[in-house]
Structure 1
Amino acid sequence: MQRLSDISTIRAVMEKNGFSFSKALGQNFLINPSVCPRMAEMSGAADCAGAIEVGPGIGVLTYELSQVSKKVVTIELDKRLLPVLDETLADCDNVKVINDDVMKIDLHRVIEEEFNGEEVAVCANLPYYITSPVIMKLLEDRLPITSITVMVQKEAAERLCAQPGTRECGAVSAAVQYYAEPEILFE
C-alpha cells in the first residue's frame, strides 16, 4: 500500500469504503508525512509493553506506532472506520482495533487483558472538543501509563503547559500539571 499520509491514498481508501468525515466527531486525519513517525518515536512506546492509541482514523499513526512498539491497541468510536482500518493495517500483525468509546471503556481492563497490566504509552491525534476530557480521564484513572503523547491544536497545547499565575493557565492546566509534567515536543 502507498504511504497512508499521502492525500491521494487517503481519498482512495475513503472512496473505496464509502467513508466521509463526521463533523460531529471532530474527525481530522494527519497527512503530514513527518508528524506520525516523530510522534511514534517520541511517545516512548518502544520502551514499554506497548501503545494505546485513541482515535486511529485511517491508521496513519497506528502504522507508525506498530513499527516501534511491541503491540498497539487502538480504540476507535466510529464503526464506519473498521473496514478502512482492516485494509490499511492488514500488514500489521501487532495491532488490535477495539470499536468503543474511550470515555466509556474500562482502560484498566484493556491494559490488563492486552498488556498483562504492564506500563503502556498512549498516543492520539485528538479533536479539539474532546482533548481535555480524554487527557483528564487518562490521568485521573491512574493507569499504568509511561507517557501521553497527543497532537492537539497549538492553543490547546499552550494551555495545557501554561504556568500557574499566567492568563493562559486554567483548571485543566492545573489539573494536568498536578498529575504530569506536560511539554510541547514540536510544532
Structure 2
Amino acid sequence: METSPVKALLQQFGLKAQKRLGQHFLVDEDILECILSAAELSRKDIVVEVGPGLGILTKRLAEVVGKVIAVELDFKLVRMLRESLASFSNVKIIHADILKIAPQQLLGDYLTIPELAQGYKVVANLPYYITSPILRHFLEAWAKPSLMVVMVQKEVGEAIAANPGKMSLLSVSTQFYTKPTIIAFVPAGSFYPPP
C-alpha cells in the first residue's frame, strides 16, 4: 500500500494524524503481512487491537479472526472506523483509553463463547509514547493475552528483548511474564506520516 490511499482516507473524513497521540499509520503491505503471520491467527481468535488508527490492520484482522475488539482514544477516528468497518459484524470499536479498561472487562462475555474461548491475542501498532504502560497493562492483568504481536519503536523493542547484562527495568519486567522476540525492523517510510 502506498501513502496516497491513506492520505485520501484522511482527507475524506477530514482527519489529520495527531502527533500528541503518536499517530503514524502503517502503509507497508509487507509489514502488515509480517504482523498477521507472526500472530498465528485463526477463526477461533479474539484479537484486541490498541490504537487501530485508520483501520487498515483492523480490516485485515477481521477477515481472518472470530472477533476484533479495537480500542481507539481519538473520537474522530472512532467515527470513521465505525463507518468504514460497518460491514464487519465481528468488529467492535470502543472509544476509550486502553489503560482505563481492564482486559477482562474489555473482553466480557467473549471469553465464555466456546468457539472463541482460547484466550485472546493483542495485535497492535502501539503509540510509542505509551508502549511501556500498555505492555504492563496487559501482562500484569488477571486475563493475560496468549500472544502479543506489537510494533514498538526500535530502541524500545531492543530494550524489551535485551539479553542478561544489557537488561533494563523494562526488559526485566516484560521478560518476567513473556519471552519477547523481535520479528522485523520497520523503516520509517512504512508509515504515514513517518515517525
TM-score normalised per structure 2: 0.86
Task: Note the alpha carbon deviations across 1:62-112, whole angstroms, 9 max, x for none.
Answer: 111112211111000110102221233233221110100000012211223
Q: How does 1:144-155 map to 2 (within 5 A)?
A: 144-155=144-155
CA distance in 1, matches of 2:15, 2:132: 27
Partners of 1:136 and 1:77 in 2: how far apart? 18
Question: Of 170, 182, 186, which residue of structure 1 is paired with 2:180?
Answer: 182
Q: What's the C-alpha RMSD, in Å, of the aligned pairs?
A: 1.7
2:26 partner SS: coil
- Tell me whether 1:28 sits opposite 2:24 in the alignment: yes
Q: Partner letter of residue 85 of structure 1?
A: L
Contact 2:161 2:180 in 1 (8 A): yes
Q: Residue in 2 aligned with 1:99?
A: 95
Amino acid at match of 1:29: F
Alignment correspondent of 1:136: 136
Deviates more, 1:28-37 or 1:115-124: 115-124
Q: Is the 8 A contact 1:44 1:147 kept in 2?
A: no
Contact conserved, 2:22 with 2:127, CA < 8 A, in 1?
yes
- Is residue 171 of structure 1 aligned with residue 165 of structure 2? no
Query: Given the alignment of the two structures, is residue 126 of structure 1 paired with residue 140 of structure 2, yes or no?
Result: no
Instruction: Output the amino acid matched with 2:176.
Output: Y
Which amino acid is the alignment partner of residue 113 of structure 1? Answer: D
Secondary structure of the residue that 1:13 maps to in structure 2? helix
Structure 1: tracts of 5 or more residues without a match: none
In the TM superposition, residue 47 of structure 1 has moved relative to its aligned partner by 6.9
Alignment check: 8 A CA contact 2:49 2:68 kept: yes
Higher relative contact order (CA 8 A, sep 6+): 2
Structure 2 regions of 5+ residues with no counterpart?
A: 186-195
1:53 corresponds, among 49, 74, 82, to 49
CA distance in 2, matches of 1:73, 1:59: 12
CA–CA separation in structure 2 for the residues paired with 1:78 and 1:114: 25
2:135 partner letter: I
Q: Is the 8 A contact 2:102 2:141 kept in 1?
A: no
Deviation at 1:127, TM superposition (A): 2.0
Equivalent position of 2:188 in the other structure: none
Q: Is the 8 A contact 2:138 2:144 kept in 1?
A: no
Runs of 4+ in 1 over 3 A off after TM superposition: none
Superposed CA deviations along residues 26-64 of structure 1, whole A, max 9, x for unmatched, are 111101012123212321332743101000000011111
**Map of 1:83 onto structure 2:** 79
Q: Give the alignment's TM-score, normalised by structure 1.
A: 0.89
Whole-angstrom CA distance in 2 between matches of 1:19 and 1:122: 26
- Counterpart residue number, 1:65: 61
**Partner amino acid for 1:68?**
V
Q: CA separation of 1:77/1:114 partners in 2, compared to 1, >3 Å: closer, same or farther?
A: farther
1:97 and 1:148 map into 2 onto residues whose CA distance is: 19
Q: What secondary structure, in the 3-state scheme, does the structure 2 residue paired with 1:124 have?
A: strand
